[in-house]
Chain A
Amino acid sequence: MGSTVTLDVCGLPPPEPFVNIMAALKTLPADTILEVRIHREPFPLYDVLRENGFAWQAAMLADGNFQILIHHAA
């Protein structure tokens, strides 16, 4: 896996986090990871990722925010 692009959507009101993440995914190169930082776990996003051929890993950070690492599924 190549480089990582970071997208911080912490504190944005709905639906801005979802819109920004979808916009970033549209142009995400095949070998790049999108690192999303978000203030809550975005459960609805996972369905969209799964259906569109992305894989992801979610982790809660020490500050209570979440880090979601998204990349194209193999």
Chain B
Amino acid sequence: MNIASLSTEQSPPISFPFSFFALAPLFLLLAAVMLALGEGNPFAETHSPALLAATHCITLGFMAAVMFGAVQQILPVLVGSKMPAARLVARFTLLALFAGTLALCGGFMRGQPLWFNLAWILLGLALLTFIGASLISLARAPADNATRSAILLAVIALAIAGSIGGLLAHGFATGAALPYPEWLVAHAGFSLGGWVMLLIAGVSYQVVPMFQLTPNYPKWLTAALAPALFVLLWAGFLPLLFGAAARPLVLVAESLYWLLAIIFAAVTLLLQSRRRRRVPDATLSFFRLGMVALICAALFAFAATLCPAAHTAFRTLSALAFLLGFAMSVVNGMLYKIIPFLIWFHLFRGGIKSGIPNMKQIIPEPWMWWHYRLQWATLLAATGAPFLGWAAWLVAAGLSLQGFLLGASVFKSIAVYRKHVRRIERTQV
């Protein structure tokens, strides 16, 4: 059986996703630096430059990078279709995404048009490349399942979020008169509520039962959730068209959106409670934390509506619970499953007949648990940060330590891979 010849035929080379995974943790460090450089408490003002810069370090530099790298690898596994021109797409997206994120940080922190102009051009190119390649891959996919539909909607949401983001950055650079508050809401809605939420849901439909040994998600949920969430996101545009008159409709759409998010989180927690192997698992714990945080994000959003006097504070808490609690926890949890699996899979297909490390040996389990505790601590600090200046420093410290630990895990995995590849090469000489 000739496994050795198969290594790079269908799956993209392992270096592609690992370039993204290795560089992404640096942006957690950069996010911490942005928070540290901010004047006063960056969390006290939702649109403070330092908070906007740190947020985009996390959403673009860390999360989008991990997601772009992972999507390239998981499309062949989950829907049976690889990305076209994988090498070119990976290299170009990587460079443009990281350079664009740095430029955007420069724009927020320095307020100079040059940085904003660089940012929207570079990020636009990165998104255009990734979205185009993803759409081609999804169009060719033989699988017609709920995961494919959800990823497709996530990619469309990313295109919309990116377009609005580009307009905003261009507007910041030129000083153009735009309805900034309305565009900002739509941008945040389609990027976090669209791209992030839909991608996580679509991938969870398969990854949760597959890796966590749970029953499958119910069909009514996988069939309806992503399309319903996607439709509700469009309510974010209504204030642009109808102004304040659209507010009741927006409130209804938002409430329905958060209700669906709670249902997704509750079903995921229920499925996890019925998993077949009841052994402690850090990735499972990350996932569970993420789902609890998603429910908290929804409750904070409801509280913001019900309590106009504390509207801004609850809105900020909802956004923090969604971004740092839900999205970051799930991304971390998925990374700690995907990285060992990719290392194992590529070694197996690379021709090793024996001595392949067990998936659990690739990243030391205690490292994952430390990261999980750090994630908890960062999240707790973040809930206090809008009110307590010193908590903002704890968030920055938590993000830095998470970046170090995740980076160390990625490099440890690469070292394991290289060690075994050298062993193959020695046996082949």
Point out residues on A near B: beta carbons under 8 Å.
11, 13-15, 18-19, 22, 25-26, 39-41, 43-44, 46-48, 51-52, 64
Point out residues on B near A: beta carbons under 8 Å.
1-3, 5-6, 9-11, 76-80, 142-143, 206, 209-211, 213, 216, 276-277, 341, 344-345, 348-349, 359
| A40 & B1 in contact (Cβ 8 Å cutoff) | no
| A44 & B76 in contact (Cβ 8 Å cutoff) | yes
| CB-based nearest A residue for B277 | A13
- Cβ–Cβ < 8 Å partners of A51 in chain B: 2, 5-6, 9
- Cβ–Cβ < 8 Å partners of B213 in chain A: 11, 13
Contact of A44 among B2, B3, B10 (CB under 8 A): B10
**CA of A19 to CA of B3 in the docked complex: distance in angstroms?**
12
Contact of B11 among A11, A39, A44, A52 (CB under 8 A): A44
| CB-based nearest A residue for B11 | A44
| A52 & B345 in contact (Cβ 8 Å cutoff) | no
CB-defined A-B contacts under 8 Å, sample of 26: A11-B213, A13-B210, A13-B211, A14-B210, A14-B211, A14-B341, A15-B345, A15-B348, A18-B345, A18-B348, A39-B209, A39-B216, A40-B209, A43-B76, A43-B77, A43-B78, A43-B79, A43-B80, A43-B143, A44-B345, A47-B6, A47-B10, A48-B3, A48-B349, A51-B6, A51-B9
Contact of B143 among A18, A22, A41, A47 (CB under 8 A): A41
**CA of A51 to CA of B341 in the docked complex: distance in angstroms?**
21
Contact of B1 among A14, A18, A47, A52 (CB under 8 A): A52
The A-B contact count (CB < 8 A) is 59
| B210 & A15 in contact (Cβ 8 Å cutoff) | no
**CA of A43 to CA of B5 in the docked complex: distance in angstroms?**
18
| A44 & B1 in contact (Cβ 8 Å cutoff) | no
**CA of A18 to CA of B77 in the docked complex: distance in angstroms?**
12
Output the residue of A39, A43, A44, A48 with the most chain B CB within 10 A: A43
**CA of A48 to CA of B78 in the docked complex: distance in angstroms?**
16
**CA of A14 to CA of B341 in the docked complex: distance in angstroms?**
8
Least CB distance, A50 to chain B, in whole angstroms:
9
| CB-based nearest B residue for A64 | B216
**CA of A64 to CA of B345 in the docked complex: distance in angstroms?**
25
| CB-based nearest B residue for A41 | B143
| A26 & B1 in contact (Cβ 8 Å cutoff) | yes
| A15 & B349 in contact (Cβ 8 Å cutoff) | no
| A52 & B2 in contact (Cβ 8 Å cutoff) | yes
- Cβ–Cβ < 8 Å partners of B80 in chain A: 41, 43, 46
Kindly list the 3 A-B residue pairs having the minimum CB-CB distance in the complex, ordered from nearest: A43-B80, A47-B10, A51-B6
- Cβ–Cβ < 8 Å partners of A22 in chain B: 1, 3
- Cβ–Cβ < 8 Å partners of A25 in chain B: 1
Least CB distance, A4 to chain B, in whole angstroms:
21
- Cβ–Cβ < 8 Å partners of B209 in chain A: 39-40
- Cβ–Cβ < 8 Å partners of B348 in chain A: 15, 18-19
- Cβ–Cβ < 8 Å partners of B277 in chain A: 13
- Cβ–Cβ < 8 Å partners of B359 in chain A: 14-15
- Cβ–Cβ < 8 Å partners of B3 in chain A: 22, 48, 52
**CA of A48 to CA of B8 in the docked complex: distance in angstroms?**
11
